[in-house]
Amino acid sequence: MVVLAKAGNNDSENGNISSPPEQNKKLRYPVPVFFIVVTEFCERFAYYGMRAVLTIYMRSILNFSDDLATTIYHVFLFLCYGLPIFGAILADSFVGKYTTVFALSTIFAAGNILLTAASTPPLHLPTVAFSLTGLALMAIGTGGIKPCVVALGGDQFILPHQERQLKQFFSIFVFAVSVGNMLSTVITPVLRSDVQCFNQDCYPLAFGIPAVLMVVAIGIFMAGKPMYKINQPKDNIILRVSQCIIHALSQRRIQKTKHSLEPSNKEHWVDYAHYDGSKFDKQLIQDTKGLLRVLVYYLPVPMFWALYEQLGSRWTLQATRMDGRMGKYTIKPDQMQVANAILMFMFIPIFETVVYPLLRKCNIFKRPLQRMSVGGLLAALSFLIAGVVELRIERSFLPQPTLAETHLNIINTLPCHLTVLAEQQHSTGVEFNGGLLTVEPGSNIILHSITERNVTLSFAPVFNDTLNCFPNSPSTLDPLNAPLNMNLSWSGTFATIPGVVQSIIVTINPSTGRLDHYTLTKPEDIGKSRQGFSKLRVVNLDGLLRKGTGNQTQSQDGFRILNQSKDRSYTLMADSNHGFSSSLEIPPDMYVIIPLEDSFRHSDQFNGSHFPQYLNLEVGGNYMVVLTHDREGQLMEQIMTVVPPNEVNMLWLLPQYLVMAWAEILFIISGMEFSFTEAPTSMKSVLQSCWHLTNAMGNLLVIIAAQNKGQKTQATEFLIFASLMLINTVIFAVMASRYKYVSARDDDVGKESTHNSTLEAKGSKAHNSITPTNSNDAQDTRL
């Protein structure tokens, strides 16, 4: 994550010479800036911490689909990067920077508090409505604050006497933002996942601590008011440029109508703004033309943002489908976003000291637009890598049945191999052996894509394995050729239900001694946990098989799921009249399953020989605990893996994060360098606002894609984005090859300007032009 701090014009830009170092020592360092830095640190901690867990919160607590969660996430970002223009106008033209920061910080804190309250179950608030309202308030707050905080800090310095101190302030400001970003991205997911609140992930704590910090920050910010130097509002350059362009277009239309047959003597349509000797001076018109010349090359930028901003949405959701275990530590899916910030801090100095000098020696990619083109290609490559990783992830996922299909989950609780014959069904993804399926003891197999509404099923033990199931049965029985013994097999027609997964449990009925089966009335859930957890379900087969014998009771058979290492426990209740519990999502770990006291007093067959049972629940696995009988008729548990756990380790995401970090350095920092070296100096603030807007437009592209995903898999969507970015970059490269750099007119001046702007864009060193004249002349940009 890169934070840019930039500034507008100062006396040095106009040729004035700064005071000697002796003068800098005469003025005290302005203490009020530390109040401003603390405010920004807390606001960034709250913002990035909330962003880190937001996608998972919407999917797991608000029960949004992946596509809806992605859409809401990018609508939030769209507002965050579309509203800074209005914040700057409000500060510069109406109420001033201090009032704007205070008011919008209060709105941000109110939104954070509302989001915290919405995530607290005992309050019984309308969770979705309060959450979305809180997000909207936070977007308004952070969007409006963005252009004002650093500008207010810059106002506290007296220039040119404190130019050196102002440079130090920018460095401190950038450092505070970056530290707030990284700390919150690491800490907030831990608060969410490792702390239990109301028997679920602790979102109240994950949202609440940043909210408290923000309230404290507002108090600190207010405490510094008596010391702040507060400038009065004045004209905003964005408004002036907008008015100039609108006036030029209006005059052009009027003059074209009046003199339609006369050739125009205007070199550029913006020149019409001075046609009637209006209030727009020639310098503003000339600078506006230079601005538009640069903005043409902003047109391909939104596609880059569309890819980059998915690190917090699609890439985070991708991480929830992976295995984050590294020895004893488990990486949370929402913690992977910090990899971007860490990689950026690592590689910015490497690019500055090694890569760029090497490219200059090779006389390649020296110009900003050329480096942006390479960055665009790397962004496309990162999504290509993401698509390949996603293809591998999808191999561990079971396909959901369509509305015209049924999946059958055959569960073998027998101590022997089971043969399954399914007649007149079409299935894929299952290996057939002579028309028969073989199910391992204590295992299951899923028949996919059955389209018939009635399927004939036959169950029997595998030949030569019969004695393991029925010790007293004839050893010569062959279920393939001999007439099926009524005790050793079952055959019948099964009515399927389209659009669901139906589970059939094959067992031995303790009352009759025959092979029997039971169909669960509730469809099976073969989806993986949305939080990267494990899913667990209990089936009380003992209670189901006692139905109809007169021995069933109106009781619930309960189990305690205990994590001894973390002192956590969960309870699963299996109703003896329905036979199964609901699915429980719990963090992957080693657990002990113990029957609850008094749960099995109705059964004279229960003894403690098979308890406690140990459960190794892995990331993304979907498990079923079946209560059944052993050969001696004693109750026991069998653990079935319905859906295999996640197979791909989360560290396989690092290549795509690494390539995206390189792309970010080449594309974004070079883009800022191009903007500041090629556009008129007076237009820097306008360019900053337009840069924010390109980010907003990129998020809009993701919103459109998410709402029109249809039946495409996530891997396909990643590959489509990679292709679009590739096409976008080719077009951009063609445009760049035709661009004539303004700085090339004076090579020496151009090199110095490029060097200064690079330092300015990266925020790695103090700025050379640092007198903030309005809220857009000095503002932090989170890239």
| More confident call, 678 vs 369 | 369
- On the question of pLDDT at 678 being above 70, the answer is yes
- On the question of pLDDT at 667 being above 90, the answer is yes
Residue 271: both structure tokens together: 């020149």
In 544-634 the beta strands, taken as DSSP E runs, fall at 556-563, 568-575, 584-586, 589-595, 613-617, 622-629
Residue 783: both structure tokens together: 């890239």
| More confident call, 510 vs 478 | 510
CA distance 334 to 184: 11
Residue 328: both structure tokens together: 């004893």
CA distances from 412 to 423, 511, 624, 640 (A): 19, 19, 12, 9
Residue 390 lies in a domain: yes
Q: Sign of torsion, CA 70 73 77 78?
A: positive
Residue 522: both structure tokens together: 């509730």
Q: Enumerate the β-bridge partners of residue 444.
A: 411
Kindly state the average pLDDT of the residues 317-343: 87
Kindly state the average pLDDT of the residues 749-761: 42
The pLDDT tens digits for 628-663 are 766 666 667 788 888 889 989 999 999 999 999 999
What is the amino acid identity at position 357?
P
Residue 566 lies in a domain: no
- On the question of pLDDT at 612 being above 90, the answer is no
Q: Beta-carbon neighbour count of residue 14 at 10 Å?
A: 8
- On the question of pLDDT at 136 being above 60, the answer is yes
- On the question of pLDDT at 753 being above 50, the answer is no
Residue 732 lies in a domain: yes
What is the amino acid identity at position 594?
I
CA distances from 184 to 3, 36, 50, 513, 589 (A): 15, 19, 8, 60, 25
**pLDDT computed for residue 127 by the predictor:** 95
Evaluate whether 48 touches 340 at the Cβ level (below 8 Å): no
Q: Which domain holds residue 729?
A: 3-234+281-396+649-782
Residue 257 lies in a domain: no
10 Å CB burial of residue 556 (0-12, 13-18, 19+) is middle
Radius of gyration of the chain (CA): 33
- On the question of pLDDT at 38 being above 70, the answer is yes
> Nearest 5 degrees, angle CA 223-CA 227-CA 232?
110
CA distances from 732 to 215, 371, 381, 737 (A): 45, 11, 16, 9
Residue 520 lies in a domain: no
The pLDDT tens digits for 224-251 are 999 998 888 877 788 888 888 888 888 8
Q: Are strands 437-439 and 589-595 parallel, antiparallel or unpaired?
A: unpaired
CA distances from 713 to 156, 383, 399, 598, 723 (A): 53, 14, 11, 48, 15
Instruction: Give the list of residues 6+ apart from residue 403 with CB closer than 8 angstroms, or none.
Output: 498, 499
Of 559, 561, 583, 563, nearest in space to 573 by CA: 559
Residue 563 lies in a domain: no
DSSP at 260: T
CA distances from 144 to 13, 105, 106, 178, 234 (A): 28, 9, 11, 19, 17
Instruction: Give the list of residues 6+ apart from residue 361 with CB closer than 8 angstroms, or none.
Output: none
Evaluate whether 332 touches 324 at the Cβ level (below 8 Å): yes
Kindly state the average pLDDT of the residues 95-103: 91
**pLDDT computed for residue 755 by the predictor:** 44
Evaluate whether 411 touches 420 at the Cβ level (below 8 Å): no
The pLDDT tens digits for 411-454 are 888 888 888 887 754 444 454 333 578 888 888 888 887 887 88
pLDDT-wise least confident of 293-307, 336-350, 579-593, 766-780: 766-780
- On the question of pLDDT at 726 being above 50, the answer is yes
DSSP at 366: -
What is the amino acid identity at position 97?
K
Query: Which range, 11-25, 45-59, 172-186, 450-464, has the best average confidence (pLDDT)?
Result: 45-59
Q: Are strands 3-6 and 779-782 parallel, antiparallel or unpaired?
A: antiparallel
Residue whose entry in the numeric block shows the structure tokens 């951009």:
732
Task: Assign 3-class secondary structure to 57-80.
Answer: HHHHCCCCCHHHHHHHHHHHHHHH
> Nearest 5 degrees, angle CA 98-CA 99-CA 100?
90
Q: What is the CATH number of the domain that holds 356?
A: 1.20.1250.20
What does the mean pLDDT of the chain come to? 80
Residue 291 lies in a domain: yes
CA distance 383 to 32: 44
Buried b (16+ CB within 10 A) or exposed e, 54-70: bbbbbbbbbebebbebb
Residue 207 lies in a domain: yes
> Nearest 5 degrees, angle CA 86-CA 91-CA 97?
135
CA distance 754 to 370: 14
Angle between helix 301-308 and 714-737 (nearest 10): 150
SS3 669: helix
**pLDDT computed for residue 758 by the predictor:** 42
pLDDT-wise least confident of 53-62, 257-266, 722-731: 257-266
- On the question of pLDDT at 582 being above 80, the answer is no
CA distance 216 to 222: 10
Residue 298: both structure tokens together: 């902003």
- pTM, 2 dp: 0.79
The pLDDT tens digits for 504-553 are 888 877 777 778 888 887 888 888 887 778 888 888 776 555 554 444 44
CA distance 579 to 517: 13
CA distances from 643 to 153, 413, 640, 656, 657 (A): 55, 17, 9, 27, 29
* DSSP string for residues in 670-691: HHHHHHHHHS-GGGHHHHHHHH
CA distances from 581 to 539, 571, 584 (A): 6, 10, 9
Q: Sign of torsion, CA 267 270 272 277?
A: negative
Evaluate whether 145 touches 112 at the Cβ level (below 8 Å): no
**What is the count of structural domains for the chain?**
1
pLDDT-wise least confident of 125-129, 288-292, 446-450, 734-738: 446-450
Q: How far apart are the first and last CA of the chain?
A: 6
